[in-house]
Amino acid sequence: MKAPFHETLRVANCALWDAMQGHPFVRAIEEERLAPDAFLRYLAYEHDFVTTAIEIFAQALIKAPCLAAQRHLICVLRALAEEQVPYFNATFAALRAAPPPRETFPPAVSAFRDGMLRIAQNGSYAEILAAMLAAEWMYGTWCTRTAARPLADPHIARWVVLHTAPDFAAGVAWLKQAVDTEAVGMNEAGRRRLVSRFGEALVLEIGFHEAPLEPLL
């Protein structure tokens, strides 16, 4: 039986996928040796990206081909604004920390934000989905693996659990199905663009996850 197209995206970018799954940041969380200040930096960078993710999914909403897709994307936007943003605010309050200003972020953080936003602004609906599938499927995979055993740090544990929750898993499944559906009507050049966008997102993610570790490298 022919594999679904979303698997083609991953297999075609398997080296990048494996690099992200075995990223030093991911390994540090799995082995419970991520320094608290590195996690704080990561939270600051990821919190900043949530506002960009809202813009990205808003672009997908504008370009969506049908009402069913639009309704799903409206739910995604609501979750980002009403669930993810409060998570970061609550976590910073619990840690008695404030995120640093965007102007102080490392170049890889800005590159990730700008690169993903550029895909959303200039790419097709399917290209946006492919890029966001790379990001969310990647998180869901390593967080599911990591959640197989308890983590001592409650803040890191909560972050991992957020990416193994049924709603998050359902979102990844929706992206897979939506990408598969879009690929059906595409020519080979169109499918190659989706493969390229999936890989581009992984490259950006790898650099983004190196940024919190930079002072330690």
7 pLDDT higher than 50: yes
pTM, to two decimals: 0.94
pLDDT in tens, 116-159: 999 999 999 999 999 999 999 999 999 999 999 899 999 999 99
pLDDT at 85: 87
- Asked if 128 and 120 count as a contact pair (C-beta separation under 8 A), the reply is yes
Task: Indicate the number of domains in the chain.
Answer: 1
Q: Among 80-89, 103-112, 195-204, whose mean pLDDT is lowest? A: 80-89
Closest CA to 47 of 77, 104, 79, 92: 92
216 pLDDT higher than 60: no
Rounded to whole angstroms, what are the CA distances from 180 to 126, 174, 177, 200?
9, 10, 5, 19
pLDDT at 217: 44
Q: What is the CATH number of the domain that holds 168?
A: 1.20.910.10
Range of the domain at 57: 5-98+105-216
As a whole number, mean pLDDT of residues 94-103 equals 88
162 pLDDT higher than 80: yes
pLDDT at 84: 87
- In single-letter form, the type of residue at position 31 comes to E
Closest CA to 179 of 140, 133, 137: 133
Start-end of H helices in 31-106: 36-63, 67-79, 85-94
